[in-house]
Chains A and B, each alone.
Chain A
Amino acid sequence: MTGIANIRDLFTRNIRTSGIYIAFVAIVVLFSVLTDGLLLSSRNLTSLVLQFSYILILAIGMVIIIIGGHIDLSVGSVVALTGAVAAVLVVRNGMPWWVGVLAALGTGLLVGAWQGFWVAYVGIPAFIVTLAGMLLFRGLTLEVLNNVSLSPFPAEYTSIASGFLNGLLGGYGYDTFTLVIFAVGVLGFAYNSWRNRRARIAYNQTVEAPALFVLKIVVVAAVVMWFAWNLATYRGLPAVLIILAVLVIAYTLVTKHSVFGRHVYAIGGNLAAAQLSGVRVKRVNFWMFVNMGFLASIAGIVFSARSSAAQPAAGNMFELDAIAACFIGGAAVTGGIGTVTGAMVGGLIMAVISNGMSLMGVDQSTQQIVKGIVLLLAVAFDVWNKKRASATR
C-alpha cells in the first residue's frame, strides 16, 4: 500500500473518525487567527483546561450511555446535588474535605442506581427517567442548600480543581515535572501504537505505511509537548488534568477492551441480537447509569471546588454540553457507535469555540447560536456520511 493511498484512505473511508480531528485543527487555527494568538497563550490554555474539565468528565459517562442507546438529561442536576452534599458537610458542618468528597461520590452512585433501576428493571425510557431526574435532583439540591449558596470550601478541597503540581523537580522559568509527565505520556503512546502495529502485522491486518505511522506519532508528540511547555511555563500541571487523564485512559480501556464495554456496544448496535447472544441487558443498562452517576459526582466535586461554592443553580445545562460533545465526537444517535476519545475531541471543539468567542468579546447569545449550529451540522454530517456509506455498499 502506498503512502498516497494511505492518506486517501484516512480521509475517505475513515472520514467519520478522522473528520473530527480535521475539524478540531481547523477550529483551533481559525480562533488563533481571530484572537491574534491569544487562544494558544499559556495562560489561556491553562484556563481552558480548568474551565471545561467537568464537561469532559461528564462526556465520558455520557458517551457510554449514548453508545448503549440511551440518553441522560439529569447530569447537570446531579453535578449540583453532589456539590451541595459536599458543601453541607464540609462548609456548613466543618467536616474534613475528604468526607465531602466521599459523600459526593456516594450520592452520585446512589443517583445512578436510582435511575438505572427505573431504566433497566422497570423499562422506562431513559429520556423520561432522566428528565424526571433532572427536576428531582435539582429540587433536592435546593432542599439541601435551603436555597442559598454555601461557600467557601477549605483550600484542600478547592485545590482539587484549581491546584497545580509545580516545582517538584525544579526548573528555570518552567516546570520540569510537567514536562517529564507529558514526556512519559508521549512515550507510552508511541510504545502502545508500535505494539498495536506489530500485533496487526502479526495477524495479517492492513497497517499504515511506515512513514505515515512515524509522521503520525511525531505530530502527536510535537503537539502534546508544545502544550506541556505552555503549561510548564505558566503555573505547572493542573491537578484536574491528572484526574481527567486518568479517567480518559481508564474509560478508553473499559469501552474498547472490557467485556462490559463490548456489551454496551452490542446493546446499542442491536438490542435483540445482544439479548439472544446472552448479554444480560438489564444488568449492563443498570451499571451504565451507576457509572454515569459516579462520573457526574466527580464533575460535581470538580465544579464546586473550582467555584469554591455550592450554588443552587450549579450545573445548569451541563447535560446539553455533554450530549453535544458526544454527538460532535461521532457518536450515533441510534446507539452502537461512539468513542471516548471522540467525545473528548467533541467537547474540546465546543470548549475552543466558547473560549475563542469569549476572548473575542462575542456575547453569550451569539455564542449559543454558534454552538447550536455546530451541533446541528455535526449530526447532519453524520447522517450524510451514513447514507453515503450505505450507498457504496
Chain B
Amino acid sequence: MADSAPTDILEMRGITKTFPGVKALQDVNLTVRRGEIHAICGENGAGKSTLMKVLSGVYPHGSYEGDIVLDGETAEFGTINDSEARGVVIIHQELALVPYLSIAENIFLGNERTRAGGAIDWNRTNAEAAALLERVGLSESPTTPISALGVGKQQLVEIAKAISKDVRLLILDEPTAALNDNDSEHLLGLLRQFKEQGITSIMISHKLAEIAEIADRTTIIRDGRSIETFDMATAGASSDAIQDRIIRGMVGRDLDNRYPDRVSHPGEEVLRIEDWTVYHPTQTGRVVVDKAHLNVRAGEVVGIAGLMGAGRTELAMSLFGRSYGRDITGQAYIHGKPVDVHNVPDAIRAGIAYVSEDRKQYGLNLIEDIRRNISAAGLGKLSKNGFVDENEELKVAEEYRASMNIRTPNVLVEVGKLSGGNQQKVVLSKWLYTAPEVLILDEPTRGIDVGAKYEIYTIINELVAAGKAVLVISSELPELLGICDRIYTLAFGRITGEVDVPSATQEGLMALMTQETTRETQETKA
C-alpha cells in the first residue's frame, strides 16, 4: 500500500437522510480505517441499512445531505455502478442472485466476460469464476445453478461476485443472519483473510459474539444518529465484556413518559402454546421456530422481543391459521381447551386476530375504501343469505371511525390515501370487529409518528381493560418495556427467556435476545 494514501479509506461526514415524514439519519459520522473490519451496531430501524445504502449509491448523491470522502476525495455516487467502479461493493441482507443461472453467470452478471463482438466468452467466464471460487473457499463447479446451493454457499458466491469487481471496501449487511455456525465461521475466516489482503470490510450484524470476535472497531447507531465509535481492543477484556459494552451503546436512550399509564389486572389464561415448532416453507430442514412455549392471560399485554430473523413474525403467523411455514407441530390452547387451527377462518373463529407488521402488503386492500377494509374480516357478521347489509356496514365503519379516532372526512375514502397511523387504526378496527379473544400485534407502531403511537398504546390499554389478551411483537425495547406486563425473548427461533417488566432492563433483554444456540444443542438437533 502506498505510503501517501491516507489512513482512513472512508469518511462519511454529517450524513442526513430524510424520507417523507421521517428523518432516517441525522448528522451521522463514520470513519473507517484502511484494512480494518468495522462493525456497525444498532437496533432494528436505527438507520444502519439506510447509511449503507447512502454509501453504496442506492440513494444517489443529492438525495441526502453531508459528504462521503473516499481515499481523501469527495465521492458523489449517482448509482450503484458508480460506487462499484470505485471499489465499494455492498452485499445486501437479501441475496441478489438469480436462482436459475449458474454460479459463473451470476458472478459476472452485468459485468460479462465477452469476446470482440459481444458474444460471451464461456471459457474465460468459467475459468475466472473457478479462480474466484477458490479464493472464497467454495468447491463447486462454476456451472452449478445457484438454486442447487444452500444459503451459506450462496453467500460465498455473493462474496466471489464482490471480489470480481476489484473490491476495496466490502459492505456486508447481516451476512451471517441466515447461516449456521459452520458457515458463519467460514465466512468470518474469509473476512480475516481479506483483511490480510488489504480489503477493508464494514459489517452490520446482530450477532454480538461475532462482532466481539472479529471487528477492529465498532460504531453505534441509535435513532438515526451515530453515537460513538470505539476500539474493540479497549472495549473490554472478554467477549462478554465487549458485548455488554455494545449493548449499553445500543439501548442507552432516555426513557420519557411516552407510554400511557395502565394498572394491570391479569385474569385467567387465554392463550397458551406448547412445543410450537415451525419449519421454513421452502428451505427443507431449516427450523424457524424451535419448541416455543408461551401464555397470555386476559387483561395482560405480553411482549415478544427479538431481533430481525429471530422468528417473531413466523411464530405469530404460524399461530394465525398456519399462514407461515410447514410441518408445524405443537399444541395451542384457548381458555385451556386445545384448538386445532388449520386456516385463517379457523383462527378467526377461535378468537385469534393478527395485525401484520407490514400493513400495506398483508393488512389492507389499499385501493378499497375504509368501510370495506374494516368489514373485510367480519363479513360473516354483517351478512344474511350471502348478501351484505350495507347500511349496517356503514354504521359499523362510522362507529370505529369515531372510537378509534380515524382522521378522515368520511369512511368512503380509499385507505391508500391515509397516513400510516390512520391506516393502522383501520387494520385494528378490522380485527376488533371480529371480536377476538387474543390480539397478536406485530410491530403495531412501525412507521407511524409519535403522536399516533401514543394513540395506539392507548387503544391497547383499552383492549386489555376490556379483558382481551394482547401479544405484542416489537423491535423497540423501550416500547415493550413501556406497554407490556411480561416479555418473552426470542433468539434464533427459541424462547430464551421470560421476564416480568418491573424487573426487566434493556440490557438484560438484549443479552437474552442475542443469546446464540450453543454448539451442543445444534448438534443434538442434527
Residues of A bordering B, CB below 8 Å: 199, 203-206, 253, 257-260, 262-263, 265-266, 269-270, 272-280, 332, 336-337, 393
CB pair A276 B386 closer than 8 Å: no
Contact of A203 among B343, B387, B398 (CB under 8 A): B398
Docked Cα-Cα span, A56 to B398, in Å, equals 37
| Residues B412 and A277 in contact, CB atoms below 8 Å apart | no
| Given contacts A203-B398, A204-B410, A262-B388, A276 and B363 within 8 Å (CB-CB) | yes
Query: Bound state CA distance, A259 and B361, in angstroms?
Result: 22
Task: List the interface of chain B (C-beta within 8 A of A).
Answer: 320-321, 323, 343-345, 347-348, 354, 356, 361-368, 372, 375-377, 379-380, 383, 386-388, 390-391, 394-395, 398, 410, 412, 416-417, 430
User: Shortest distance in angstroms between B455's beta carbon and chain A's nearest beta carbon?
Assistant: 22
A275 in contact with B387 (CB, 8 Å):
no
With a cutoff of 8 Å between Cβ atoms, the chain B residues found around residue A199 in the complex are: 391
- Smallest CB separation, A218 vs chain B (Å): 26
A274 to B391: give the CA distance in the assembly, Å: 22
Complex contact B348–A278 (CB within 8 A): yes
Contact partner, A280, options B345, B390, B417, Cβ 8 Å: B345
Tell whether, in the assembled complex, residue B367 and residue A336 are in contact, meaning their CB atoms are under 8 Å apart. Answer: yes
The 9 closest A-B pairs by CB, nearest first: A269-B365, A277-B377, A277-B376, A270-B365, A278-B344, A278-B345, A278-B348, A259-B383, A272-B362
Closest Cβ neighbor of A196 among chain B residues: B390
Nearest residue in A to B344 (C-beta to C-beta)?
A278
Q: A276-B320, A276-B354 are in contact. Are A265 and B368 (CB under 8 A)?
A: yes
B410, closest chain A residue (CB): A205
How far is the CB of B469 from the nearest CB of chain A, in Å?
20
CB B331 to nearest CB in A, in angstroms, measures 22
Residues of B within 8 A of A272 (CB): 361-362
> Is B388's CB under 8 angstroms from A257's CB?
yes
With both chains docked as a complex, state the minimum distance between the C-beta of B417 and any C-beta of chain A, in angstroms.
6
Does B388 lie within 8 Å of A274, measured CB to CB? no
**A280–B386 Cα gap in the complex (Å)?**
14
Closest to A272 in B: B362
Min C-beta distance of B295 to chain A, whole Å: 24
**Residues of chain B lying within 8 A (CB to CB) of residue A332:** 367
Q: Could you tell me if B388 and A259 are in contact, using CB atoms closer than 8 angstroms?
A: yes
Given A257-B390, A269-B368, A336-B365, A276 contacting B379 (CB threshold 8 A): no
Bound-state Cα–Cα, A168 to B345, Å? 52
- Report chain A residues within 8 Å CB of B410: 204-206
* Closest Cβ–Cβ distance, residue B247 to chain A (whole Å): 35
Give the residue among A199, A273, A275, A336 with the most B Cβ atoms within 10 A.
A273
Partner of B362, one of A263, A276, A393: A276
User: How far is it, in angstroms, between the C-alpha of A87 and the C-alpha of B237 when the chains are bound?
Assistant: 91
User: B23: shortest Cβ distance to chain A, in Å?
Assistant: 21
Q: How far is the CB of A261 from chain B (nearest CB, A)?
A: 8
A249 to chain B, nearest CB (A): 14
- CB of A360 to closest CB in B, whole Å: 40
Pull 26 A–B residue pairs with CB atoms less than 8 Å apart, ordered by A: A203-B394, A203-B398, A205-B412, A206-B410, A253-B387, A258-B383, A258-B388, A259-B379, A259-B380, A259-B383, A259-B386, A259-B387, A259-B388, A262-B376, A265-B368, A270-B361, A273-B363, A273-B376, A275-B344, A276-B320, A276-B344, A276-B354, A276-B362, A276-B363, A277-B377, A277-B430
Contact indicator A337/B386 (Cβ below 8 Å): no
Count chain B CB atoms within 10 A of each CB in A266, A276, A393 and give the residue with the most. Answer: A276
Whether the pair B364, A273 counts as a contact (CB closer than 8 A) is yes
**Residues from chain B with Cβ under 8 Å of A337 in the complex:** 367
**Cβ of A260: which chain B residues have Cβ within 8 Å of it?**
386
Measured between beta carbons, the chain A residues less than 8 angstroms from B321 are 278
Contacting residues, chain B, for A263 (C-beta < 8 A): 379
A257 and B391 form a contact (CB under 8 A): no
In addition to A203-B394, A257-B388, A269-B366, 7 A-B residue pairs with Cβ atoms within 8 Å of each other are A204-B410, A205-B410, A257-B390, A262-B388, A265-B365, A276-B363, A279-B344
Question: Are B417 and A276 in contact (CB-based, < 8 A)?
Answer: no
A321: min CB distance to chain B, Å: 27
Q: Complex: how many Å from CA A258 to CA B372?
A: 12
- Report yes or no: A258 in contact with B387, Cβ–Cβ below 8 A: yes
